[in-house]
Structure 1
Amino acid sequence: MNSLQLGWIDYSSEHKNKVMAVLDLLSSKGAVDELGTGAIRDGFGDLFFPGTSTIQTRAKYFFIVPYLMMELERENHDSHKQFLEKLSAREIDLIHILAGNEKIGVIGARARKKLKRKPSSIYWNGLKTFGIFKKGHLSLENYAKTFVAMQRRKDAAFSLGDESGDDLTSGANEYVSNFWGCAPPLANWRDTLNMELTFSEATFLKESMIKSTKSDSSLLAFLLSQNPSKVKEIESFDMIGEQFKLQGKLREDYILAREFSEFISGANIRYNIILSNNRNEQAAEKWKEWMNSRFVNKELSHFQQEKVLTRLNIYNPLLSRFLREWKESVIKRDVGKIDKLLIKRELELKSKERAKLNNANYYAYEKGTWLGAEKLQYRFINSRVLIKDIYTALEG
């Protein structure tokens, strides 16, 4: 079969970053969405861990990116494009420093100068969500445009003798910017740069995450407010409810998400069986366990899949129908109908040439191969790294 090729017209850096974001999500482990349930996975991820993404690697970037931009705000730029080009070049330059001091979580450690998606793009939504960047309505490109426009107005005002200024003041001994909520970097901050947060950075980030995302459904804010030793023991999304007694709306949402993960995990298991032409012994054993589980035998008939879509404001008739038919076929234990449903669902989302189950003979199965995530983690695994970085700095 011919490989799929994707192209796009690159109108701006903002458009390019959006496309790269999609490609990064598709390449992330566990992000495979052959059955079209990714909107639910991402919806719960946004609900529980706002401001995070599957390609964020370390918490330190929530400061490295602002530090670079605050440095650039001290300089003159001919255009917003030049501002962004300088930013990109300096992000590349920092890879060498970071990769030399720390091997874990350094973005671009392998790609170096070929790195396509920079930390500024990866962390921009989080910087806005947590109030570190205070103008939350601006995209990265529009921030650059706004800053350069303000700089020009200020330069023009100075030339006319007006020193009242804008939101921006820069000089040899002072620096004030209303764009950022965190403190500016020290002059020699690169000299000791590594991936570890300082105590003050960890304190600020923790408070910002709790304050900005403190809602009835933010597991991020909840976990940052708990005993660090207990949080560190959690290895999966399912373990959160075992370790902590959740309350109110947070508990309702958590139970709904965990039940959906259990509900759809059977579809992913069965998908891997079909894809392997029944040669995946691991999947066959997991399928047997799932079909004999308490959830399937006691809880499935009461599970309200439509409640999931309503809670996440997802209106998708085809997805709704698939979830309903999946539930009905499993309750009837009709394996033939189950397999036909999964094949039909993938064809519904893709062309006949691209649907893997429709072309299973083309995919040579290798022992141990598994497509997709058996259990949904809703970005907990990625968020756990950020939380760990914060707690490590606070304890150190």
Structure 2
Amino acid sequence: MPSVLAWIDHDSKARERTLRILSLFQEKESRDELGLGSVRDSFADQLFPGTSTIQTRLRYMLFVPWIYHSLEEKRLPAESFSIQADKLERDLVQPLMDSDDQAGVFGKTAGKRLKRLPSSVCWAGLGVWGIRITPFSQDEYHRRIDETYRGRNTLTALEKDAKARGDDIDVEQRMATLSWHPRLPAPPEDFPGAVNFALSREEAEFVRDRIHVACPNSLLSFLALHCEPADTQAPWEHPDYGRFSEQHKELLTHARLFSEVMHGAALSYNVQLARLRNHEDLVAEHQANFDEWTANLSLEEIRSWSVNRLWELTMDHGHTITPQTRFFVQQWIDHTRRSPNDLLTNADALTLIKRREMKLKGTRSRFRNQRALEQWGGYSGVGRLVYRWPNVKVLLNDLYQGMSREEKC
């Protein structure tokens, strides 16, 4: 289902449409059946750092530090710190469900029994955006909170002595004792008893500024600072594409071509599985999708595409792209360049897909494990790679709404 996004303009129909659209964040990016995740995530992290496909609403990036900061203010000891944080996160579910905007609520179905808490989803992004200052993992932060308190006590004594001597305060030393950005906006007075996803103007400005300072060269920063929410299915279709930097245009061009070409590999995989299952309807459906892919393939552009430049842009950006992955991608591109219409009858092209999946899944391969084949749902990795764009659109829409909101006097 294609995803669209608009912003709320105080019209009830527009608001309802936006809320329906926001629910599309639940449609996750294509499953990584052929081991392309390292390339996909390299592109996504460069374009949209601090985001993920399981991130839902932007205000969670404030809910989490608000909860932890409140516990630090109470000097809650390590032995009960994580337990109380867990409880407060689960307590957010009902107030959010009672609000008029329920799209993106963690625990919308499971309630307080949700298995994955917002903090675990947001932790990495909070660090990337510079909202979280503590360098520790979430578990280590919990365990070392008493050490954090002792460090602050020591700093207080040192600053008192420095003040008595007329010396300046060591700002870097003070920052080293903080867990969260010192300009973190204060939570609403009724938080967490009553809460919703609407950012205040102050909150939106804070998040926008953190993204800009921490990730100044990212497309995420440019979109947050200069663009309105866009009704597109992929980032390279953005109406402000012409204003993007040459660096972003190059990244998006390679990301688009990689998505386009490797979509054919995913379709080939599904055709082969449907044939193996002797499922005529599925074979026909996937075959039709494959035929549509070949008909719309920008073959001239793909034939002139520099795959060496693809690897220059994606390697060494925090993700390991193995020689085996590069070989598989290059081989599929070569087959596609030669004759895309023959890919479902070309034995070498079919074997390339089969061997790749078998190598990745081992004994769980659907080509060698009959039970795994029987459990196959009929569709695997058929969504095009769009590099977290559906989730990013939701976050940018939340930010735009906050930036457009007038502050109360």
Q: Same fold (TM over 0.5)?
A: yes
Q: How far has the Cα of 1:250 moved from its partner?
A: 1.3
Q: How far has the Cα of 1:107 moved from its partner?
A: 0.6
Contact 1:65/1:120 (<8 A) preserved = yes
Q: How far has the Cα of 1:364 moved from its partner?
A: 5.3
Distance 2:80 2:257 in 1: 49
Partner-residue secondary structure (3-state), 2:359: helix
Contact 1:49/1:220 (<8 A) preserved = yes
Partner-residue secondary structure (3-state), 1:77: coil
Q: 1:49 to 1:146 in 2, by over 3 A?
A: same
Contact 1:326/1:338 (<8 A) preserved = yes
Distance 1:155 1:31 in 2: 49
Asked whether 1:76 is paired with 2:75, we answer yes
Contact 2:335/2:349 (<8 A) preserved = yes
Q: How is 1:31-50 mapped onto 2 (pairs within 5 angstroms)?
A: 31-50=30-49
Q: For residue 99 of structure 1, what is the aligned residue in structure 2?
A: 97
Q: For residue 201 of structure 1, what is the aligned residue in structure 2?
A: 203
What value does the CA root-mean-square deviation take over the aligned residues?
3.1
Q: For residue 356 of structure 1, what is the aligned residue in structure 2?
A: 366
Q: 1:164 to 1:286 in 2, by over 3 A?
A: farther
Question: Of 369, 372, 377, which residue of structure 1 is paired with 2:381?
Answer: 372
The higher relative CO (CA closer than 8 Å, separation ≥ 6) is in: 2
Q: 1:284 to 1:238 in 2, by over 3 A?
A: farther
Q: How far has the Cα of 1:359 moved from its partner?
A: 4.7
Question: Of 185, 189, 206, which residue of structure 2 is paired with 1:183?
Answer: 185
Q: For residue 322 of structure 1, what is the aligned residue in structure 2?
A: 328
Asked whether 1:390 is paired with 2:399, we answer yes
Q: 1:201 to 1:349 in 2, by over 3 A?
A: same
Q: How far has the Cα of 1:132 moved from its partner?
A: 1.2
Contact 1:276/1:365 (<8 A) preserved = no
CA offsets per residue over residues 290-316 of structure 1, 9 Å max, x none? 2233423x2332223343223221441
Amino acid at match of 2:117: K
Amino acid at match of 2:325: L
Q: How far has the Cα of 1:266 moved from its partner?
A: 0.7
CA offsets per residue over residues 137-184 of structure 1, 9 Å max, x none? 3222333344321324556899x99966999xxxxxxxx956324123
Identity of aligned residues (%): 27
Q: How far has the Cα of 1:260 moved from its partner?
A: 0.7
Asked whether 1:282 is paired with 2:285, we answer yes
Q: For residue 137 of structure 2, what is the aligned residue in structure 1?
A: 139
Partner-residue secondary structure (3-state), 1:42: helix
Q: 1:161 to 1:369 in 2, by over 3 A?
A: closer
CA offsets per residue over residues 234-270 of structure 1, 9 Å max, x none? 2323412775443321111111111111111110111
Distance 1:153 1:221 in 2: 34
Q: For residue 149 of structure 2, what is the aligned residue in structure 1?
A: 151
Q: 1:35 to 1:294 in 2, by over 3 A?
A: closer
Partner-residue secondary structure (3-state), 1:69: helix
Q: For residue 220 of structure 2, what is the aligned residue in structure 1?
A: 220
Question: Of 285, 293, 298, which residue of structure 2 is paired with 1:295?
Answer: 298
Distance 1:113 1:294 in 2: 47
Distance 1:261 1:302 in 2: 16
TM-score where L is the length of structure 1:
0.79
Distance 2:245 2:312 in 1: 21
- Of stretches 273-282 and 92-101 in structure 1, the one that deviates more from structure 2 is 273-282
Q: How far has the Cα of 1:106 moved from its partner?
A: 0.8
Q: 1:310 to 1:157 in 2, by over 3 A?
A: closer
Q: For residue 13 of structure 1, what is the aligned residue in structure 2?
A: none
Amino acid at match of 1:301: R
Partner-residue secondary structure (3-state), 1:189: coil
Distance 1:240 1:358 in 2: 42
Q: For residue 307 of structure 2, what is the aligned residue in structure 1?
A: 305
Distance 2:87 2:236 in 1: 41
Amino acid at match of 2:238: I
Amino acid at match of 1:133: R
Q: For residue 239 of structure 1, what is the aligned residue in structure 2?
A: 237
Contact 2:131/2:210 (<8 A) preserved = yes
Q: 1:304 to 1:72 in 2, by over 3 A?
A: same
Q: How far has the Cα of 1:369 moved from its partner?
A: 4.2
Contact 2:227/2:240 (<8 A) preserved = no
Q: How far has the Cα of 1:337 moved from its partner?
A: 2.1
Q: For residue 337 of structure 1, what is the aligned residue in structure 2?
A: 348
Partner-residue secondary structure (3-state), 1:225: helix
Report how many residues are paired. 353
Distance 1:272 1:161 in 2: 65
Amino acid at match of 1:263: V
Q: How far has the Cα of 1:86 moved from its partner?
A: 1.1
Q: For residue 12 of structure 1, what is the aligned residue in structure 2?
A: none
Partner-residue secondary structure (3-state), 1:190: coil
Amino acid at match of 2:350: D
Amino acid at match of 1:295: S
In structure 2, the gaps of 5 or more residues are 1-25, 163-168, 171-176
Q: For residue 269 of structure 1, what is the aligned residue in structure 2?
A: 267
Q: For residue 9 of structure 2, what is the aligned residue in structure 1?
A: none
CA offsets per residue over residues 180-205 of structure 1, 9 Å max, x none? 24123244333541111112111211
Amino acid at match of 1:85: I
Q: 1:300 to 1:347 in 2, by over 3 A?
A: same
Partner-residue secondary structure (3-state), 1:73: helix
